[in-house]
Amino acid sequence: MSDAPTRYRSADEDSARWLGFPFRPGDIVISTRSKSGTTWMQMICALLVLRTPELPAPLIELSPWLDWLVEPQERVYARLAAQRHRRFIKTHTPLDGVPGDPRVHYVVVARHPLDTAVSLHHQGANLDRARLAELTGRSVPPGPEGPRQPVERALVRWIDADPDPSAELDSLPGVMWHLRDAWARRHLPNVHLVHYDDLQADLSGQMRRLAERLDLEPPGPDLVAAATFARMRARADRLAPDSAGVLKDRHAFFRSGRSGQGSALLDDETRARYHSRVAALAPPDLLAWLHRAEA
């Protein structure tokens, strides 16, 4: 959202695809870290905009992932240009990598980083990496995938790793980079922060609050019911972000959705090390908001 957006690139994403994108007044950009509530917020926006629990097309078609290299940019732009309803667009790019437009709403979902890390670990086992490499023009990894480490060990390594956050956005420094940037913009009238735990605790209230912020009609009970985890998991074939066939199991994409699972996997010493690390990565008020379920 800066005058000169930061460019974020990975093997399958490039935020430069936002440059030159023709926004419309009222567009909604959903900016979250991976496995932090992206698909949930896309579904909520689809229900609030389209006003029906029976979506007219798969969610990934209604709400394209603009900076995903699997689909050619011109095809994504054309699909969005053809949409007549209010558009809601997915990205994993932090807000400083997306062009800012006062006519556009930017929604950021924050999830406890430890829960995000657990979901990322399980999501890694559900990705067809050979298919993903094929779609992005990279060489297919040779041989079968090696054995995966237990989630407990992976979580500890994730906490202790210290990569460049702008290069590895799904790392702990990267997650906090994304959230810290959004937190600094929360005073803007078109930037809306939503806590994953609030969606779990009061989905109806959070949908009404978001509808008000987005100048949309409040949802009825049928729309709220369609946004529950159980209903979304039951409709994984149409809701999972898998238009290119990179998921081994679409239902496994909606694995659990629970909060608190990451912290429960840690002993006291490692949990304290986690809190020491994030204290160096984000301001106290953001951490108090992010971790309030632990208070």
Catalytic residues: 92
DSSP 218: P
223 HSE (CA, 13 A, CB side): 20
* Opening angle at CA 74, ends 68 and 79, nearest 5: 85
Sign of CA dihedral 92, 96, 97, 98: positive
Cα distance between residue 173 and residue 178, in whole Å: 9
DSSP 112: -
SS3 state of residue 12: coil
Q: Please say whether the beta carbons of 224 and 203 come within 8 A.
A: yes
First-last CA distance in the chain: 33
Closest CA to 122 of 286, 289, 251, 263: 251
Q: Which two tokens stand for residue 161?
A: 């790793």
Q: Please say whether the beta carbons of 58 and 137 come within 8 A.
A: no
Residue 12 backbone phi and psi in degrees, to 5: -130, 15
Cα distance between residue 100 and residue 190, in whole Å: 10
SS3 state of residue 107: strand
Closest CA to 167 of 1, 2, 7: 7
The total of other beta-carbon atoms located within 10 Å of residue 121's CB is 20
